[in-house]
Structure 1
Amino acid sequence: MEFVVKTAKAPTLKTATLVLPVGEGRILGESVQAADAATGGAISAILKRGDLNGKVGQTLLLHNLPNLKAERVLLLGIGKSDELDTRQWRKVVGAAASTLKNLGGGDAAFAVEDVQVKDRDAYAKVRLLVELLADSSYAFDRFKSKKADPRALKKIILLCDKSQQPDYERAARHASAIASGMAFTRDLGNLPPNLCHPSFIAEQAKQLGKSFKGLKVEILDEKKLRELGAGAFLAVSQGSEQPGCIVVMQYNGGQKGEQPYALVGKGITFDTGGISLKPGLGMDEMKYDMCGAASVLGTFRAVLELQLPINLVGLLACAENMPSGKATRPGDIVTTMSGQTVEILNTDAEGRLVLCDTLTYAERFKPRAVVDVATLTGACIVALGSNTSGLLGNDQNLVQQLLGAGELAGDRAWQLPLFDEYQEQLDSPFADIANIGGPKAGTITAACFLSRFAKQFSWAHLDIAGTAWISGGKEKGATGRPVPLLTQYLLDRSN
């Protein structure tokens, strides 16, 4: 979908569908008043009949209005002007997208210059609009014998005055890149695990390097990982016929020698739980256990499309967790790349095992900050549900940067404590550390485990177990989160 910014006036624009906002109580902004005047008051006359009051998400489609070049007009309720916030704006845009999806015509124009969204300037308002419209057109029908109907809507026109044009254009450019990154992430997450295995993810990273300039990709195979002493990582991958790997991506868009930022993604392409086997019901959704790695790839795609002036490292910890005669047993003790030993009490707590060695490997890049992203704990879903990602870290400044990025991006996280008292739950009588901390505070103790391998740098951990995909039913599928949050964080750093 193409997004074009124009300074044309709504009544003079030739388009298949002109979208005009109406406030609650049938309140019209200046741009809509101009369109109404051009029609000789036809719009206000229709509104007076009571078909649309302007409440959030209401829509009314009008045809054959006089003196407008638009083939049709979609009136869109935006609620009370002093109450329109990000959540309601999402509903408004969602209602418009749902209606436009069922209409003919190759384009639509939005006249939202006068719309004010709480705590959002023109840039932030339009960026969320574009992201939501682009995301609404996503479809995954690769394995359907009958494909989805082709999307008729190819272009969205964003109307504004000249003073708003730079902000609108910047918002459209950033949002298009983020939407592309989210779609890439969703595609990877939705792929079946018999296709999307560790080597496949490595190949996708290589293809990304061929498609965009400035990306260098290296694959650390199991032989190399063995040489590096990555005993925790290999303990996970050894039960599978699919070899594990760490995918190393380096993008140098900043100054030469400038310290990079680093993103680390958990890429368990299928998680049976290993010997600590998961229940069968819903196990198909464990193909989404690689969404941390997928979101890092999606964020890289957005960064590469925008060619941000930063240096960035991506590390994807890719493995498959399977039960077999070669699989790790509960009670096994392994030595990590850092030299610390781990008693594996539960083989279903495998994400932290691949991540701990990957975090140790990140030290060699001397990063300014490291953010790891993982579908790590079911406890995070219990704590925060499916709306908010969990966030913990050893640097409060970094945590605040990520929280702020999530607010602006509409992709929120919530900080959980990382107090030293929780570390005691990981004590082992036989090794330096146990890989689980018991039934209490599971998200926190998982982060405590990772924190022991992140002492050499500023570090934060995003638990996206509740936000990376939607479970069950017809709506089941990857969400593309937290690509917006991560991209916003990097946009902030590039500024």
Structure 2
Amino acid sequence: MLAIKRLQFTTIRHNPETILADTLVLGVYEGRHLTEPAQRVDRLVQRKLSAFLADRAFEGRMGQMMSFMGFPGLKAQEILIIGLGVRDKWNRAQFRKAQSTAMEYSARTGSRTIINTLTAITEGDIPAAWRIRHAVEATYQAIYRFTECLGKNSKKSHAPRLERVHFVLTDIKISDADARSAIASGSAIAQGVFLCRNLANLPPNIATPRFLAAEARKLVQSDPRFKLKVLTERELKRGGLNALMAVSQGSHEPPRLIVLEYRGPRCSPGNPIALIGKGITFDSGGISIKPAAAMDEMKFDMCGAASVLGTLKTVSELKLPLHIVGVVAAAENMPGGGAVKPADIVQTLSGQTVEILNTDAEGRLVLCDAMTYTQNHYQPQVIIDAATLTGACVVALGHHPSGLFANNDTLAQELEHAGKEALDPVWRLPLWDEYQDSLKSNFADFANVGGRDAGAITAACFLWRFVSRVPWAHLDIAGTAWKSGNEKGATGRPVPLLAQYLMTRAGRNS
């Protein structure tokens, strides 16, 4: 399994100033209004903190930050002041942003031990367990470094030094058991996000369909609750998964259908929850080839698959009492003498025929066979697929929410709620029969693309044709799964969303 660093988290109920640490994190609202923990420190150092802030015109605006050496009477070597913005506007998103600012600075400057008082802030009616969990997630996010492809010396220099974080819970009404549970939840989600990011950040000459199958096998080795089935090229052909096979025709890398089944402790008998991920390990576009600019980012076209494996990692860490089947449809989409061509027609596993008008609309082809296979073999109670499916979704929603399509209002609402809890939001788009007309074909049952209009919706409509009478949701994560530019890399979304959904299903909210 790809290396994932684990941190130590503890809670402090009294006298954080007596704890040896590299950094003590304090919060200040706009107008230099000190939080309660900061006020206690200020009293301890005879108001030197408030005077120091006034001298340096620190106003406490959101994102503002200042650090200085600690005062006599404090065991911390450094004081880090984080601006929290307007007190009346303090909310969950502001909390997470402040946590990220503090942890990113501390990780960047090499702190090994941190005392974090932001978890003791009571404004905003934010549950204590939620604060602790998201503080853990923000800490892990701050130390993430992709070092798998660096040389030994470079890897060592990039390794984060952070080892321990103490969360201050002075006067916070939460039991030690609930605090430990929140830490465990945040750590488990972070481990899933790390795995997702590492898989997606790997170069496509390493992260092939066969590599994804090997990583799934390592999950099985780490937890006997998993059971793995991998369909090879021969088995896919014999099984009639022709749409998946068509996508991989131009590549020397053979496709795989990876089926990872999890049965948690004390899980009730019944049909599983199905998570299905698009795993195009590199998408050149095929014969409908993409422009050269930014084509390197098409290694991220397997982020849906990575998120399924990452979510199952989280589920395993939490030992959720659920029955889940994760299915990854993995292939490369390359041009070549044997590549699928525009106007080719394939018969999918469902028996429906598809005219392939655009070979760059390949994600829906591998997904449709994966969805049919899952329904035929596992009769799931719910299906959720995650895919970097369309650029049209990025045009519609940008990079903040993932696109959500669903044939069931209850499932859609559950995912919307999970997104809000996890700060991994979705925005529901319509899934109406009227859009199906765009997929008409004169030569097959339907085409794999419609016109230019409503591309994200018609892609979802295509997938809908392969869903029987089962609640189904499609997450188009093309705008949220990775970042470009100086911050280029996978984000790990939608692992937090999917993990929160499954935690809620299991009756675990923190």
TM-score, normalization by structure 2: 0.93
SS in 2 for 1:290: helix
What is the distance in 2 between the residues matched to 1:478 and 1:247? 21
Answer with 47-56 or 420-429: which moved more. 47-56
Q: Which residue pairs with 2:67 in the alignment?
A: 61
Q: 1:233 aligns with which of 204, 223, 244?
A: 244
Answer with 19-28 or 118-127: which moved more. 118-127
Aligned pairs (5 A) from 1:214-363: 214-253=225-264, 254-255=266-267, 257-363=269-375
| Deviations 1:106-143 (CA, angstroms, capped at 9, x unpaired) | 20011124424646322222222221121111111222
SS in 1 for 2:257: strand
| Deviations 1:273-332 (CA, angstroms, capped at 9, x unpaired) | 111111111111111100000011111111111111111100000011111111111111
The verdict on how the C-alpha distance between 1:119 and 1:357 changes in structure 2, with shifts beyond 3 A counting, is farther
What is the distance in 2 between the residues matched to 1:104 and 1:297? 31
* 2:166 aligned with 1:152: no
* 2:173 aligned with 1:163: yes
What is the distance in 2 between the residues matched to 1:329 and 1:105? 55
- For structure 1, the residue ranges without an aligned partner over 5 or more in a row are none
Task: Say whether the 8 Å CA contact 1:81–1:116 is kept in structure 2.
Answer: no
Answer with 3-12 or 307-316: which moved more. 3-12
What is the distance in 1 between the residues matched to 2:173 and 2:98? 25
SS in 1 for 2:31: coil
What is the distance in 2 between the residues matched to 1:448 and 1:335? 18
What percentage of aligned pairs have identical amino acids? 47
- For structure 2, the residue ranges without an aligned partner over 5 or more in a row are 1-6
| Deviations 1:236-274 (CA, angstroms, capped at 9, x unpaired) | 112211110110000001535222111000000011111
Task: Say whether the 8 Å CA contact 1:265–1:372 is kept in structure 2.
Answer: yes
| Deviations 1:327-379 (CA, angstroms, capped at 9, x unpaired) | 11111111111111111111111100000010001112121211000000010
- Residue 208 of structure 2 aligns with an amino acid whose one-letter code is H
Q: CA deviation at 1:79?
A: 1.7
Q: CA deviation at 1:427?
A: 1.1
Q: Which residue pairs with 1:469 in the alignment?
A: 482
Task: Say whether the 8 Å CA contact 2:119–2:135 is kept in structure 1.
Answer: no
Task: Say whether the 8 Å CA contact 2:119–2:131 is kept in structure 1.
Answer: no
What is the distance in 2 between the residues matched to 1:261 and 1:117? 37
Task: Say whether the 8 Å CA contact 1:333–1:431 is kept in structure 2.
Answer: yes
* 2:448 aligned with 1:435: yes
- Residue 298 of structure 1 aligns with an amino acid whose one-letter code is G
Answer with 33-42 or 157-166: which moved more. 157-166
Answer with 310-319 or 58-67: which moved more. 58-67
Q: Which residue pairs with 1:423 in the alignment?
A: 436
Structure 1 stretches of at least 4 aligned residues deviating more than 4 Å after TM superposition: 116-119
What is the distance in 2 between the residues matched to 1:69 and 1:323? 62
Answer with 54-63 or 359-368: which moved more. 54-63
* 2:95 aligned with 1:95: no
Q: Which residue pairs with 1:204 in the alignment?
A: 215
TM-score, normalization by structure 1: 0.96
Q: 1:49 aligns with which of 55, 58, 62?
A: 55
Task: Say whether the 8 Å CA contact 2:36–2:121 is kept in structure 1.
Answer: no
What is the distance in 1 between the residues matched to 2:382 and 2:425? 20
SS in 2 for 1:373: strand
Answer with 106-115 or 424-433: which moved more. 106-115
Aligned pairs (5 A) from 1:77-116: 77-116=83-122
SS in 2 for 1:163: coil
The verdict on how the C-alpha distance between 1:54 and 1:290 changes in structure 2, with shifts beyond 3 A counting, is same
Task: Say whether the 8 Å CA contact 2:145–2:159 is kept in structure 1.
Answer: no
Task: Say whether the 8 Å CA contact 1:342–1:435 is kept in structure 2.
Answer: yes
SS in 2 for 1:183: helix
What is the distance in 1 between the residues matched to 2:108 and 2:289? 44
SS in 1 for 2:14: coil
Q: 2:462 aligns with which of 429, 445, 449?
A: 449
- Residue 130 of structure 1 aligns with an amino acid whose one-letter code is V
SS in 2 for 1:71: strand
What is the distance in 2 between the residues matched to 1:282 and 1:379? 17
Answer with 476-485 or 275-284: which moved more. 275-284
Q: Which residue pairs with 1:4 in the alignment?
A: 10
What is the distance in 2 between the residues matched to 1:206 and 1:31? 47
The verdict on how the C-alpha distance between 1:281 and 1:60 changes in structure 2, with shifts beyond 3 A counting, is closer
Q: CA deviation at 1:93?
A: 2.0
Task: Say whether the 8 Å CA contact 1:84–1:116 is kept in structure 2.
Answer: no
* 2:402 aligned with 1:402: no
Answer with 219-228 or 389-398: which moved more. 219-228
The verdict on how the C-alpha distance between 1:378 and 1:117 changes in structure 2, with shifts beyond 3 A counting, is farther
Q: 2:29 aligns with which of 23, 28, 36?
A: 23
SS in 1 for 2:358: coil
| Deviations 1:136-193 (CA, angstroms, capped at 9, x unpaired) | 1111122233234332211111111463244432222111111111111111111111
The verdict on how the C-alpha distance between 1:119 and 1:395 changes in structure 2, with shifts beyond 3 A counting, is farther
Task: Say whether the 8 Å CA contact 1:89–1:117 is kept in structure 2.
Answer: no
Q: Which residue pairs with 2:193 in the alignment?
A: 182
